[in-house]
């Protein structure tokens, strides 16, 4: 993307400043504070996903057939929710967002879908997940604040509750930052202790690492690349981009070799 960004709207809530900018190509950006770009929405098509990490998160739909009950912890600008609703035929998408002002901005300025299958809940992700055992088939965890990774993304107890929120056959998807240039997520140690080392992960260009974890008591997710490539090929025209690169880079956590000095 090119072009300078112009301010569209600016708000403030109990957690800090929020602002939306736009460029000449039709993209709008949601910022937490002055520097943290949290979301990007292409206004001519709000279901378009510009970020690699959000595209990669959609791989979870390979293992969970439609119509799935989906939960998003963290709404942001709403592009991921829009894409899931349009392309993956969910039974329902429940988005949990801490900041009511973020939801207002997404609805007024970022093209958040009005699909009746989308339910938005305002509140703390931790409190919500505590009360939602066996409630969904797909759970997407994408929790960031102005300063970066939410504290919840480094808490074993929280991730345990997230896994417990899945129904049998469900998949937990976690968006984490990479730890330096290690190829490991920030929470690698606690994640391996909690989930073992057979969950799947993929690193994307922005530096994020996406983790795909099965429901408790379920076997490791099947890494059948030929079947995944066929599935992705069937989606490519509809999505407008390919999921094949993320499938190529998908691997078991056990197979990550951290660089040595």
Residue 171 has pLDDT above 90, yes or no: yes
d(CA 40, CA 38): 7
Residue 93 has pLDDT above 60, yes or no: yes
CATH code of the region 47-255: 3.40.50.150
Query: According to the model, what pLDDT value does residue 240 have?
Result: 97
pLDDT digits (tens, 9 = 90+) for 207-259: 899 999 999 999 999 999 999 999 999 999 999 999 999 999 999 999 986 65
DSSP string, the chain: --S--EEEEEEEETTEEEEEEE-TTSEEEEEETTTEEEEEEETT-TT---SHHHHHHGGGGGTSPSSPEEEEE--TTSHHHHHHHHHS--SEEEEEES-HHHHHHHHHHS-----TTEEEEES-HHHHHHT-TT-EEEEEE--EETTEE-GGGG-HHHHHHHHHTEEEEEEEEEEEEB-TTSS-BTTHHHHHHHH-S-SEEEE-TTSEEEEEEEPTTPPPPP--HHHHHHHHHHHHHHHTS-SHHHHHT-EEGGG------
Query: According to the model, what pLDDT value does residue 183 have?
Result: 85
In the chain, what are the domain boundaries?
47-255
Instruction: Calculate what percentage of the chain has a pLDDT beyond 90.
Output: 84
pTM assigned to the model: 0.94
Instruction: Compute the average pLDDT of residues 169-195.
Output: 90
Query: According to the model, what pLDDT value does residue 147 have?
Result: 73
d(CA 13, CA 101): 7
Residue 1 has pLDDT above 60, yes or no: no
Instruction: Compute the average pLDDT of residues 149-155.
Output: 83
Residue 2 has pLDDT above 80, yes or no: no
């Amino acid at each position: 993307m090119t072009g300078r960004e112009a301010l569209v709207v600016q708000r403030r809530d109990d957690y800090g400043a929020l602002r939306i900018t736009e460029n000449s190509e039709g993209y709008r950006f949601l910022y937490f504070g002055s520097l943290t770009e949290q979301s990007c929405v292409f206004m001519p098509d709000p279901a378009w996903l510009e970020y690699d990490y959000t595209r990669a998160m959609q791989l979870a739909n390979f293992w969970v057939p439609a119509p799935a009950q989906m939960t998003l912890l963290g709404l942001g600008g709403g592009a991921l929710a829009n894409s899931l609703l349009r392309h993956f035929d969910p039974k329902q998408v429940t988005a949990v967002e801490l900041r009511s002002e973020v939801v207002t901005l997404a609805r007024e300025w970022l093209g958040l879908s009005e699909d009746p299958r989308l339910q938005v809940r305002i509140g703390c992700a931790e409190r919500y997940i505590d009360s939602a055992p066996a409630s969904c088939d797909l759970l997407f965890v994408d929790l960031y604040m102005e300063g970066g990774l939410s504290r919840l993304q480094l808490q074993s107890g929280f991730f345990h509750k997230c896994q417990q929120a899945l129904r049998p056959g469900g998949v937990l998807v976690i968006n984490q930052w990479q730890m330096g240039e290690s190829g490991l997520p920030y929470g690698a140690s606690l994640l391996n202790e909690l989930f073992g080392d057979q969950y799947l992960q993929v690193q994307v260009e922005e530096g994020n690492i996406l983790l795909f974890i099965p429901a408790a008591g379920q076997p490791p997710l099947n890494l059948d690349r030929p079947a995944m490539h066929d599935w992705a090929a069937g989606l490519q025209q509809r999505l407008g981009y390919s999921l094949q690169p993320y499938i190529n880079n998908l691997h078991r956590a056990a197979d990550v070799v951290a660089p040595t000095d």
